Structure 1
């Protein structure tokens, strides 16, 4: 065996609690995969997500189950059929992209077919809280071009009104994380439109969003939990005008790029999203984010500290990763 596989979990404390409709977290619990071949080492990071039936133990076990094949030279294309989509495959897939870049001295973005890799501007997330607390957080971040507001309670309209008053010039996205009913959405969407909200992310629970078909929302709707891979894309295209593509859901950069291309072909706007994690998770998604209508890669900005070297953030501007980090 010429390759050597290393699998570990890491915990990174957050600067403040990250709160959404489903609950709160105070740390990023990440899976890190390293694949070494000679002096070259490729790395990938992922976040197993309980909402999708994942656990850290299960993700580690999935990677370990393929140890022999990975160490014998499993390709990215073979990986797509040997492992199901999700965080475990994402970590391996991104490690293989990085390993190839290190071995060939050819940047991953070139291997992905891009002529260049430009900086991108990310949203910045305001956690779910009381309206005044969210307004205070928004006021502190009002110079950022895009704020993403987590909602999920009876005071949702008050939250958005308070934030809009605190950050009158900032573009706003609202993320419900499946917390609204269809009646809630029909009541709130016109009000959000009046407040110049640009997009509502995953208002209804995945699998229970058929009511969106044929409904003309006054605000663009974006699928998140409803979309993982190309398998769900046709259904989402009937219900949403945009899709949030995340490497952890798609199972890696390989599927995410294919998913994004197909979404664009169907006329859907693209959001490049992330879980809360370090710059190692964000770095491959910078390739995905090229030309996206919305970029939401602020995961590393929410940490108390990031790994070194990390991505270079200048306010909300993310610069392409240096090879020492990834790709």
Structure 2
């Protein structure tokens, strides 16, 4: 087994703003595993609010190289490493290497149906109402838009501006922990007025119990409040939807199990992303086949992508077999 670890910097097309954060560039860890002339690839951005970043991922993987070299499988990997970006990149690389050695695509190895294009949201970062409305108009192919909220008092006008620009589109909003019980309550009439279909992560981490204080007439998704399977049970009755991200839960293996566990507890399921190129989105696209909501527009926010790459048309994300995971 040959192992190659590298960190790649990528630029965003425009400054991408969410509550409390502006992103103009992002680093990705790339893991390449090679054996018998075949190579598997995995990519991870990590989870910034958990200080899980590419420079810390390389030592995590180096620490378990002896296990990898002696033939560690994905089950052992999920024991040796916690849910994190390092485990995600390594898990996905292991899936693709296995697929190429077996001559079967990852979806077949995972027991999934042949994948198909799926409708995705396209995300608009926090900006002025005018700029966000213009961006909504530019995203003319999008059937679903997700707006980032900042909690700065200007979210209602941002929402109204986008709704006026795109009266026909499905709309979701993502507060990224930027609201309080009071500010969220104030926004409820505007959410209803503008036909918002989903509210994501309104409150800060640690305030999940306060979700019971909110009288929300629309479905609410947990993102930062849920990382992996063990987080699910405490959110029952507080959230309607679970946002699974491979960087959060630690790879495709755990994501597929997490989708099943969330369903068993009565949640709807969403697949999301921490930005990333097509190499990180292709594994998530397989999970998307089983999800109610899909947020896989990350490559469109970057200044460039892999080749070959995912592509977007008619509001859907398409993933040709050769992008990642083919046998």
5 Å-filtered alignment, 1:315-326, equals 315-326=314-325
8 Å contact kept, 2:309–2:319: no
Question: How big is the shift at 1:30?
Answer: 0.4
For residues 230-278 of structure 1, give each alpha carbon's deviation from its aligned partner in whole angstroms, at most 9, with x where no partner exists. 1110112221000100000000011111111111122211111011110
Structure 2 Cα separation of the partners of residues 305 and 320 of structure 1: 16
Structure 2 Cα separation of the partners of residues 5 and 254 of structure 1: 20
**Is residue 2:169 matched to residue 1:170?**
yes
Structure 1 Cα separation of the partners of residues 320 and 61 of structure 2: 25
Structure 1 Cα separation of the partners of residues 17 and 213 of structure 2: 32
Q: What TM-score, normalized to structure 2?
A: 0.96
Compare 29-38 and 182-191 and name the one that shifted more: 182-191
Which residue does the alignment assign to 1:89? 87
**Is residue 2:125 matched to residue 1:127?**
yes
5 Å-filtered alignment, 1:70-149, equals 70-149=68-147
8 Å contact kept, 2:40–2:100: yes
Structure 2 Cα separation of the partners of residues 85 and 237 of structure 1: 21
Structure 1 Cα separation of the partners of residues 283 and 51 of structure 2: 24
Structure 2 Cα separation of the partners of residues 91 and 37 of structure 1: 17
8 Å contact kept, 1:142–1:166: no
Structure 2 Cα separation of the partners of residues 190 and 289 of structure 1: 31
8 Å contact kept, 2:44–2:54: no
How many positions carry a matched residue from both structures? 325
Structure 2 Cα separation of the partners of residues 298 and 64 of structure 1: 31
8 Å contact kept, 1:143–1:170: no
Structure 1 Cα separation of the partners of residues 66 and 308 of structure 2: 30
Aligned partner of 2:53 among 52, 55, 58:
55
Question: How big is the shift at 1:139?
Answer: 1.6
5 Å-filtered alignment, 1:1-327, equals 3-152=1-150, 153-213=152-212, 215-327=214-326
Question: How big is the shift at 1:215?
Answer: 4.2
